[in-house]
Amino acid sequence: MGVTLPPGARPRIGVRTQPRPEYGEDVTTLRTAHTSALTPAELRAARTLMDAAFDGDFSDEDWEHGLGGLHALVTDAAGALLAHGSVVQRRILHNGRSLRVGYVEAVAVRPDRQRQGLGGQVMGALEQVVDGAYALGALSASADGKGLYLARGWRTWQGAVGTLGPHGVLPMPEEDPPLLWGGPDLDPAHELLIDWRDGDVF
């Protein structure tokens, strides 16, 4: 039997949850697991979901960025994957400080189950992880997904961004600013430098 949550409440990690009655869908199960605890079949299902949700515009490098941390997965009663997201550790340099950041990646909902609250279930679990384990959260939002994050209280970084790359500091003036969650107040007068990685840095 599903657990009905009060308005605005976040689901506890690993509990069965039920979408609002107007969706008329079966009970779903939300769980979190580290990449190392997922089976090859579960990882393949999540990778396939990315292709479906992003209409093929999700590269292998994008997928690689979402591995090595904690995954939130929503499945239906038959065990089919409906929604996914992950949070991985990164470092941000800001105003002389190195901050441990929970960076949200690979958030997607199966196309036929979008706009039914499943993305919110995934984000609730990931935000709980960020709150408990990191100095702040960060993510790079797609145009379609940005509204979900802003509605949940994520805020747009107002300062300059860049990366600390193999050859030193690299400003990125054309980069869309990331969204941030919680953490200390950051001064937009000082640039935000994120750690380097292959593919999209943000």
Please check whether residue 99 lies inside any domain of the structure. yes
In a domain, 118, yes or no: yes
User: What is the C-alpha to C-alpha distance for residues 158 and 160, in angstroms, rounded to an integer?
Assistant: 7
Residue 144 confidence (pLDDT): 85
What stretches of the chain show up as alpha helix (H) in DSSP? 40-53, 60-65, 118-133, 146-151
Residues of the chain with pLDDT under 70: 1-26
- Which among 50, 124, 44, 142 has a CA at the least distance from the CA of 87? 124
In this structure, what CATH number is given to the domain that contains residue 87?
A: 3.40.630.30
Collect all residues with Cβ–Cβ distance below 8 Å to 40 and sequence separation of at least 6: none
Q: What residues form DSSP beta bridges with 117?
A: none
> What is the reported pTM?
0.87
Domain count, the chain: 1
Structural domain including 68 reads 16-195
* Inside any domain, residue 4: no
Asked if 17 and 5 count as a contact pair (C-beta separation under 8 A), the reply is: yes
- Whether residue 11 is contained in a domain is answered as no
**Per-residue pLDDT reduced to its tens digit, 65-100:** 999 999 999 999 999 999 999 999 999 999 999 999
Asked if residue 2 belongs to a domain, the reply is no
- Assigned domain for 1 exists: no
pLDDT given for residue 47 in this prediction: 98
